[in-house]
Amino acid sequence: MRKSEISRKTAETDITLSLNIDGTGHNNIATGCGFLDHMLTLFSVHGRFDLSVKCDGDTFVDYHHTVEDIGISLGDAFSEALGNKAGVNRYGSALVPMDEALVLAAVDLSGRGHLNYGLHIPTEKIGDFDSELVEEFFNALSRQGRITIHLKQMDGLNSHHIAEATFKSCARALRDAARIDSTLGGSIPSSKGVL
191 domain residue, yes or no = no
- Residue 87 φ then ψ, to 5°: 85, 0
193 domain residue, yes or no = no
160 domain residue, yes or no = yes
195 domain residue, yes or no = no
190 domain residue, yes or no = no
89 domain residue, yes or no = yes
Distance of CA 142 to the CA centre of its chain: 8
How confident is the model at residue 47, as a pLDDT? 98
**13: which strand partners?**
57
How confident is the model at residue 1, as a pLDDT? 80
Report the C-alpha gap between 49 and 107 in whole angstroms.
16
How confident is the model at residue 98, as a pLDDT? 98
101 domain residue, yes or no = yes
* pLDDT in 10s for each residue of the chain, 195 residues: 899 999 999 999 999 999 999 999 999 999 999 999 999 999 999 999 999 999 999 999 999 999 999 999 999 999 999 999 999 999 999 999 999 999 999 999 999 999 999 999 999 999 999 999 999 999 999 999 999 999 999 999 999 999 999 999 999 999 999 999 999 999 999 998 899
| Number of domains composing the chain | 1
189 domain residue, yes or no = no
3-state secondary structure of 47: helix
Beta-carbon neighbour count of residue 141 at 10 Å? 26
Range of the domain at 103: 3-184
3-state secondary structure of 19: strand
Which helix (H) or strand (E) element contains residue 149?
strand 148-155
| Residue 106 contacts residue 170 (beta carbons within 8 Å) | no
| Residue 115 contacts residue 139 (beta carbons within 8 Å) | yes
CA-based radius of gyration for the chain:
16
| Residue 190 contacts residue 123 (beta carbons within 8 Å) | no
Report the C-alpha gap between 195 and 191 in whole angstroms.
10
Q: Considering only CA atoms, which of 69, 60, 47 is closest in space to residue 137?
A: 69
CATH number at residue 153: 3.30.230.40
